[in-house]
Amino acid sequence: MKKNILLNILVCFIIFLGSCSKNVANKNGAVSSTSKIASQVGVNVLKQGGNAFDALVATGFALAVTSPANGNLGGGGFLVARTSSGEIISLDFREKAPRSSFEKMFLDENENYDKEIALYSHKSSGVPGTVDGLIKIFEDYGSGKFTLQQIIEPAIILAKNGFPLEEAAAYSFDNYKFEFLEDKGSTDIFINSNDEVLSLKKRFTNNDIEEKEYKERLDAIDIWKEGDIFVQKDLSKTLERIAINGRMGFYQGVTADLIVNEMQKNGGLISKDDLIKYESKYRVPIIGTYKNYVIASMGPPSSGGTLLVQMLNMLENFNIAEMKRNSSEFVHLLTEVQRLAYADRSIHLGDPDFWDNPIEILISKKYAKERLKLISLNEATPSDEIAAGHQFAESNETTHYSVMDKYGNTAGITTTINFSYGNKKIVDGAGFLLNNEMDDFSAKPNVPNAFGLVGDKANAIEPYKRPLSSMSPTLVINEKGETILTLGAAGGSRIITAVLQIILSVIDHDLTIQKAIDHPRTHSQWIPDLIFYEKKSLNSKTMKQLKDLKHKFYKETTDLARAHGIQRKDGTFITGADKRGEYNGKEAITY
């Protein structure tokens, strides 16, 4: 490992990242992620002459340590990138359904959806793809200046020696005490041998205390505080096996045995054969245009790119630049357009290895104009009057990170384990959390999943199939052929509409990436037939005007989705990091 990379990390630790995480513009390169520490790992790789792909992979492995709620080894995701030669690539390393999975596995004896099994059991875990995906990116597009061991070494050190928790992370760990106590591995890592908590758990298990009192007393105990050093010894050993043996260090050998043992002990489905057979796949990216800009995004099994281009095709028929952002005119139009796109999502999109996705039609300008005939600019269209087009026969805890380099490479990854901390189950001895991505499948036609999304046969559970996703890593390229924006978000079904609104803010309203991310947003997704809205997004006058148009609203929220991105403007990199939720907007770093 190059000594100065490690030295830079240690310097950041000593000063608690104060000067290492300023969100400023620069001309050499930039990294944007949900973790200041992970972003700095990526920037240090760039400083050593690495390219965007080297930095992206180093950041990804570091996020597996510093952001256990969403950064992961036990999940999966998507890459959308553009190389210095102009090649646009997209890589699918989404989780896959185990061989022994079946369509009705989350239905009870009465054929009703069983939320507990779908979200919190070991059966909810798909075969992880993150490790295979990151290694494929590094091997195929890395600069060749680093070994895999050098790229992963910072993550290993962070896991082995620990890192200081920020206040939000300490609060998050404490907030999930009850769930962590349901799993031995999670208890060992997140409960931190707290005698008071463990005693309470024992009393509850022995029926010596009622559940209500148990939860109330748990809530009153703070295990973690800002500045505590969070150590993950088992995870460091897993990372070491990957660093030495590549993908075989995860999908075979000791780590694979630990995963399979965890499944066999707890009724899970992932087998050794499932792990050995897993492979990430390059997909055809979704390419569209909006005005004079090229939009490049992820195709199925992500619905993000298809819906994004479809909605931009519809919005291109209106003068968005003349509309005041979050005016009743603007929100009404967006809501109607979103309603049409999400209706199509429910019927027409699924894993392309199992389903014939009508992408060319869905992203065509002609189809957009046909769909627009179904809505009115003068009144909300009830969702039950909108069906998917028939002209032809997704915790919220996701994370997006992006890198741009001085060589002209741009790369963005969105990964997830679905809910915060996935199904809250740690692989004993391996130190990483399992995903609960199987809930992203349609367990039963027209029955909403955890994010209120409905689906049909296209997204039904089948062995080896990948569930439909809303993750939307996206690039924007200007008329000169320059990549001016890499962008993505976390937030389940709200990812796509967040990316859409940020792109409109940058292109039509000429905002910088940070101001575009900061701007309050709204969201609608066909079902439920409601407008979701963030605090300060809609004033009382606008709310009344939208109600007069017969729109209905969900309760106000502070956090619909959390976005990260990088903008290149006049040869300068400008980073954007979301201040919503637990993030403070300082995770994006330039040098």
- Cα 571 to chain center, whole Å? 28
Cβ-contact 14, 102 below 8 angstroms? no
DSSP class of 158:
H
The strand order across the sheet containing 562-569 reads 286-290, 293-297, 474-477, 483-490, 562-569, 572-577
Place of tokens 């269209």: 381
Distance CA 50, CA 56 (A): 10
CA 186 to CA 420: how far, in whole Å?
Answer: 13
The yes-or-no answer on residue 414 being catalytic is no
- Best CA proximity match to 489, nearest among 435, 414, 419, 579: 414
Q: Which of 66, 83, 187, 398 is catalytic?
A: 398
Q: With contact defined as beta carbons under 8 Å apart, do 475 and 286 qualify?
A: no
Question: What 3-state class would DSSP assign to 329?
Answer: helix
The answer to whether the CB of 427 falls within 8 A of the CB of 185 is yes
Does residue 382 have a cis bond before it (omega within 30 degrees)?
A: no
Q: Please, are residues 249 and 242 in contact by the beta-carbon 8 Å criterion? A: yes
Q: Where are the beta strands (DSSP E) in 3-107?
A: 29-32, 76-82, 88-93
322: exposed, middle or buried (Cβ count in 10 Å: 0-12, 13-18, 19+): exposed
Burial 518-548 (b: 16+ CB within 10 A, else e): bbbbbbbbbbebbbbbbeebbeeebbebbee
Residue in 64, 372, 412, 87 with CA at minimum distance from that of residue 232: 64
Helix then strand then coil, % of the chain, to nearest 5: 40, 15, 45
**Helix (H/G/I), strand (E/B), else coil: 213:** helix
**CB-side neighbour CA atoms (13 Å) of 301:** 29
Residue with tokens 């990812």: 495
Task: Quote the DSSP letter at residue 130.
Answer: H
Tokens 């290149």 appear where? 568
Q: Angle formed by the axes of helices 233-245 and 52-66, to 10°?
A: 150
Residues 6+ apart with CB under 8 A from 11: 20
Token look-up 């109330």 returns: 216
The angle subtended at Cα 247 by Cα 132 and Cα 255, nearest 5°, is: 110
Please count the residues of the chain. 591
Catalytic residues: 398
